[in-house]
Amino acid sequence: MLNIDLHCHSNVSDGVLPPAAVVARAAANGVHALALTDHDDVAGIAAARIAAEAVGMTLIPGVEISVSWGGKTVHIVGLRIDPAHPDLVAGLRGIRLGRVERAQRMAADLERSGIAGAYEGAFGYAANKEMLGRTHFARWLVAQGHASDMRGAFRRYLTHGNPGYVEHEWTSLENAVGWIRASGGMAVIAHPGRYPFNARELHLLLDAFRALGGEGIEVITGSHHPSEYGKFADLARAFGLKASRGADFHAPDEGIDIGRLPALPHYCQPVWQGWPELADLLSPSMA
Nearer to ligand AMP, 32 or 96 (CB): 96
Mask of contacts with ligand AMP, 54-93, x by CB under 6 A?
Answer: ------------x---------------------------
Sign of dihedral through CA atoms 92, 5, 70, 104? negative
Stretch that binds ligand AMP, among 17-25, 42-50, 85-93, 146-154 (CB under 6 A): 146-154
Question: Any residues with CB less than 8 A from the CB of 33 and at least 6 apart, and which?
Answer: 3, 4, 5, 6, 57, 58, 59, 60, 272, 277, 278, 281
| Ramachandran quadrant class, 217 (left: phi over 0; alpha: psi -120 to 50; beta: rest) | beta
In the complex, minimum distance from the CB of residue 131 to ligand AMP, in angstroms, rounded to a whole number: 9
Determine which residue in the list 135, 171, 175, 244 makes contact with ligand AMP, applying CB under 6 A.
Answer: 135
Q: Determine which helix (DSSP H) or strand (DSSP E) holds 132, and give its type and residue range.
A: none
Nearer to Mn ion, 206 or 282 (CB): 206
End-to-end CA distance of the chain: 7
Contacted entry of Mn ion, ligand AMP, none for residue 83, CB cut-off 5 to 8 Å set by kind? none
Each residue of 61-95: b (16+ CB within 10 Å) or e?
Answer: bbbbbbbbbeeebbbbbbbbbbbebeebbebbeeb
- Going by C-alpha positions, the residue among 235, 181, 243, 189 that lies closest to residue 213 is 181
Q: Name which of residues 207 to 266 contact ligand AMP (CB under 6 A).
A: 250
Beta strands in 109-152 (DSSP E): none
Contacted entry of Mn ion, ligand AMP, none for residue 134, CB cut-off 5 to 8 Å set by kind? ligand AMP
Nearer to ligand AMP, 3 or 66 (CB): 66
Count of C-beta atoms within a 10 Å radius of residue 167: 10
Q: Name which of residues 151 to 180 contact ligand AMP (CB under 6 A).
A: 151, 154
Number of H helices, E strands in the chain: 10, 7
Does 14 sit near Mn ion (CB under 5 A)? yes
In the complex, minimum distance from the CB of residue 39 to ligand AMP, in angstroms, rounded to a whole number: 6
Nearer to ligand AMP, 195 or 239 (CB): 195
In the complex, minimum distance from the CB of residue 150 to ligand AMP, in angstroms, rounded to a whole number: 5
Stretch that binds ligand AMP, among 29-37, 119-127, 130-138, 198-206 (CB under 6 A): 130-138
Query: Looking at this protein, which amino acid is placed at residue 66?
Result: S
Contacted entry of Mn ion, ligand AMP, none for residue 80, CB cut-off 5 to 8 Å set by kind? none
Among all residues, whose Cβ is closest to ligand AMP?
133
Q: Is there a contact between 213 and 110 (Cβ–Cβ < 8 Å)? A: no
Q: Determine which helix (DSSP H) or strand (DSSP E) holds 236, and give its type and residue range.
A: helix 229-238
Using CB under 5 A as the binding criterion, the count of chain residues that bind Mn ion stands at: 5
Stretch that binds ligand AMP, among 46-54, 150-158, 227-235, 274-282 (CB under 6 A): 150-158
| Ramachandran quadrant class, 44 (left: phi over 0; alpha: psi -120 to 50; beta: rest) | alpha
Can you give the binding site for ligand AMP, defined by CB under 6 A? 14, 39, 66, 133-135, 150-151, 154, 250
Can you give the binding site for Mn ion, defined by CB under 5 A? 14, 64, 75, 190, 248
